[in-house]
Amino acid sequence: MWKYLLFLASVHLLGRLPTRVLYVLAAVAGDLAYLFARHLRRNVWDNMRHVMGPNTPKKVLRKAARQVFRNTAKYYADLIRLPHLNVQKFFDQRLIYHGLDENILPALSNGKGVIITSAHFGNPILAIQGLLPKGLKATVLTERLQPPALSRLVDSLRSSQGHTFLPVSFSSVKLALRTLKAGGVVGVMCDRDIEGRSLVVPFCGTPTSMPLGAVDLAMRTGAALIPVFSYRRNGGAVEVFLEPPLEMIHTGDPQADLKTNVRRLLEHFEPHLQTDPGQWTVMEAVWEGERETDES
C-alpha cells in the first residue's frame, strides 16, 4: 500500500509542475535508485549485457544502465503530468511522428481494426497521445500492478486524455476483441512476459519467454499489426516510428506460425533497442540466469 500512497502523493504534489522541472527531479531520483536499488541494478545490468553483447566495456554498460533508471523515472514524471498535458500543443511542438498517415490510417480502412504493438522503450504512453488529434482512441491492455489501488490509479492517469487503459483480464480482452470488430485501435506491449500466454523465442540472440498477445490477436482477428517505437529526444521531444503492418505468416501449423510471427515482431524491435539501449525502461530481468553487477 505504501507504493500507492507515495504515488498518489506525487500526483497531487508534483503533477502540475512544468515538465522540465519534473525531469530534473526524475534524473536525481533515477541516480539515487541506481545507487541504492541493488537488485534492480543487477537486473538492468543483465538486460544491458544481453542487448549490447558480452564484450561491451563496463563503463559503456554502466552509462546505459544509469540511463535506464533515469528514463524510468522520467516515465513516471510524464505519467503524473499526463492529466494536465495539452495534447494538441504537445502534438504540434514536441511530438515527431513518422508513418502515421502512411501506415495506421490506411490500415484502418480494411474494417478489421488495428493492433499497435510497442515496447517499454522511450515513452509509449506519450507516443500514443498523438492519435488523439487524429480522432483516434485506443483500448490498451496493461500489466496488473499490486496493490490493486495502484493499478487503478496508474491506469486512470494513462486514460486521462481519452484512451482506455485496462489491466489484462478476461473482460478486457473481450473489450479488445469488440474494439477490433468495430474497426478500432487496440494497443498491446510485446517485450515483457507479464500475464497470459507466452513462449520461448530468441531475443537479442538468446532465447527467453516473450508474450503472444499482440501476434495472437492479429492472427485470430485479421487486424493489422503495426509495430510502433518511440524515442526520447532533447528538450522533452518524443520521436515516434509507426512501421508498416507486419504481415502474418500462415502455413497451416498455428503453433509454429505463432512462434515465427512473434520472432519476426521482435526482430523489428531489436534494431531500435540496440541503437539506444538506455531507453528500454525494464527493471525486471528479461533473461534467466546469473545476474551481473558493476561492483568490480
Report the percentage of the chain scoring pLDDT > 70.
Answer: 97
What is the average per-residue pLDDT within 195-219?
A: 92
Q: What's the average model confidence in pLDDT over 251-275?
A: 96
Interior angle at CA 198, CA 197 and CA 203, nearest 5: 160
Q: How many CB atoms lie within 10 A of CB 65?
A: 26
User: Does the pLDDT of residue 195 top 70, yes or no?
Assistant: no
What is the model's pLDDT at position 290? Answer: 58
pLDDT of residue 291: 59
* Domain layout of the chain by residue ranges: 87-279
**What DSSP letter does each residue of the chain carry, written as one string?**
-HHHHHHHHHHHHHTTS-HHHHHHHHHHHHHHHHHH-HHHHHHHHHHHHHHH-TTS-HHHHHHHHHHHHHHHHHHHHHHHHGGG--HHHHHHHTEEEESIIIIIHHHHTTSS-EEEEE-SBS-HHHHGGGGGGGT--EEEEEPPPSSHHHHHHHHHHHTTTS-EEEESSHHHHHHHHHHHHTT-EEEEE-S---SS-EEEEEETTEEEEEE-HHHHHHHHH--EEEEEEEEE-GGG-EEEEEPPPPPPP--S-HHHHHHHHHHHHHHHHHHHHHH-GGGB---S-SS-S----S--
The model carries a pTM of 0.94
Average pLDDT over residues 246-254: 95
What mean pLDDT comes out for the span 139-145?
A: 94
| pLDDT at residue 295 is higher than 60 | no
pLDDT at residue 90 greater than cutoff 90: yes
Q: How confident is the model at residue 296 (pLDDT cuts 50, 70, 90)?
A: very low
Q: So what's the pLDDT on residue 294? A: 62
Query: Is the Cβ–Cβ distance between 191 and 120 less than 8 Å?
Result: yes
Does 196 score more than 70 pLDDT?
A: no
pLDDT (0 to 100) of residue 197:
80
Mean pLDDT of 183-199: 87
Place of cell 530468441: 202
pLDDT at 146 over 60: yes
Model pLDDT, residue 292: 60
Mean pLDDT of 8-20: 93
